[in-house]
Amino acid sequence: MTFQWPLLLLSLGLLPVLAALYVLAQRRRRRYAVRFTNLALLAEVVPKGPGRRRHIPPLLFGLGLAALLVSLARPTAVIAVPRDQTAVVMVMDVSGSMQADDLAPNRMEAAKSAARSFVEALPRGAQLGLVSFNNTARVNMPLTHEREEVTEAIDRLWANGGTAIGDGLNLALDEIAQRPQNSEGEAAPALVVLLSDGASTAGAPPEQAAARAVEQQVPVYTVGIGDRNAAPVIGPQQQAVPLDEATLQQVAEQTGGTYYYAADASELQQIYEELGSQVRWVEERTEVTALVSGLGSILLLAAGLLGLRWFGHLP
């Protein structure tokens, strides 16, 4: 155990002084008893003494005071704490086709809304990352426990360019490959959530990236963004951008994930339940001031209660 304010440990010097005063008080008490000349009468009028029990409340009081004085120095200790190591990477399509307005106000905003809902549904302990792709893929947020930073990264996304689903999925797998492993070389559970309109036009083929996900044992859950019954057009060339559910369904089926339609995005919270979690105990140096001061308070309270219960006064 170490201390952030070690000089305050000098206050423990008060304890020997209090102990000496207590010993003197006990000796004076015995001298007063001896002055009572008629010892036989003393035995009749004075009930049997508490014996060693009288020292318990003062002892508890001293230990509690010591703990409170130690807490003033802000102690820290290396302790094992539980940490959820589960990794989830969201892969967001930010291609030009996501500008289509077949979903109000457009596909991009619908994807953002679904992503935010998923972030809110995840337990706070899970690690979460964000990858986006159009002509190329990029890491918008590495795996982190900070939900607010991921949400802010989602808000900054905007749609433009082509659609490289395979590249986005490959980059997500690169991020997941860096997650920590236990002493036996086993990695924590991980998955990918891919939100897209499914029409891949650039980069690596989605099925190749899906095959890599199978090798890494990472399921890919896909979310289709777009109206199933419409074929909107975008840009000056009036390019048709229909929702390609077949690609997304194939990726999910190939990797052991599940395909969701954007209208059912509320069901995304079930993904984490299907995955489960892996909690590891990690040693961290942690301030234990509250723990030590709490222990001291309990000891002081016990001393007071026992003193009142046994002798009718505080120690």
Domain boundaries, the chain: 2-79+289-311, 86-277
- pLDDT for res 212: 96
Give residue 279's pLDDT band: very low, low, confident or very high (50, 70, 90).
very low
Angle at 74 between CA 19 and CA 146, to 5 degrees: 155
- pLDDT for res 150: 94
- pLDDT for res 151: 94
As a whole number of angstroms, the distance between CA 258 and CA 153 comes to 25
As a whole number of angstroms, the distance between CA 259 and CA 228 comes to 14
The H or E element containing residue 302 is helix 289-311
Alpha carbon of residue 284 to chain centroid:
14
Between residues 278 and 7, the one the model is more confident about = 7
Q: Let me know: does 241 contact 100? Beta carbons within 8 Å.
A: yes
- pLDDT for res 80: 59
- pLDDT for res 163: 92
As a whole number of angstroms, the distance between CA 226 and CA 101 comes to 8
- pLDDT for res 214: 96
Give residue 283's pLDDT band: very low, low, confident or very high (50, 70, 90).
low
Question: H helices then E strands: how many in the chain?
Answer: 10, 11
Tell me whether residue 235 is exposed, middle or buried, using C-beta atoms within 10 angstroms of its C-beta: 0 to 12, 13 to 18, 19 or more: exposed
Task: Say yes or no to pLDDT of 206 above 90.
Answer: yes
Q: Let me know: does 276 contact 191? Beta carbons within 8 Å.
A: no
Domain 86-277 belongs to what topology? Rossmann fold (3.40.50)
Q: What is the pLDDT of residues 148-163, one digit of tens each?
A: 999 999 999 999 999 9
Angle at 203 between CA 197 and CA 205, to 5 degrees: 70
Residue holding tokens 């086709």? 97
As a whole number of angstroms, the distance between CA 254 and CA 248 comes to 10
Name which of 31-40, 53-62, 220-229 the model is least confident about: 31-40
Give residue 105's pLDDT band: very low, low, confident or very high (50, 70, 90).
confident
Give residue 84's pLDDT band: very low, low, confident or very high (50, 70, 90).
low
Q: Residue 268: what residue type?
A: L
Q: Is the full-model pTM beyond 0.85? A: no
Between residues 277 and 10, the one the model is more confident about = 10
Q: What is the pLDDT of residues 14-25, one digit of tens each?
A: 889 888 888 888
- pLDDT for res 243: 85
As a whole number of angstroms, the distance between CA 127 and CA 87 comes to 5
Q: Which of 169, 176, 167 is nearest to 136 (CA)?
A: 167
Positive or negative, the CA dihedral 280, 285, 288, 289 is negative
- pLDDT for res 272: 47
Name which of 33-47, 124-138, 189-203, 284-298 the model is least confident about: 33-47
Q: What is the pLDDT of residues 211-260, one digit of tens each?
A: 999 999 999 999 888 888 777 777 777 777 888 899 999 999 999 998 98
As a whole number of angstroms, the distance between CA 129 and CA 131 comes to 7
- pLDDT for res 278: 45
Percentage of residues of the chain with pLDDT beyond 90: 30
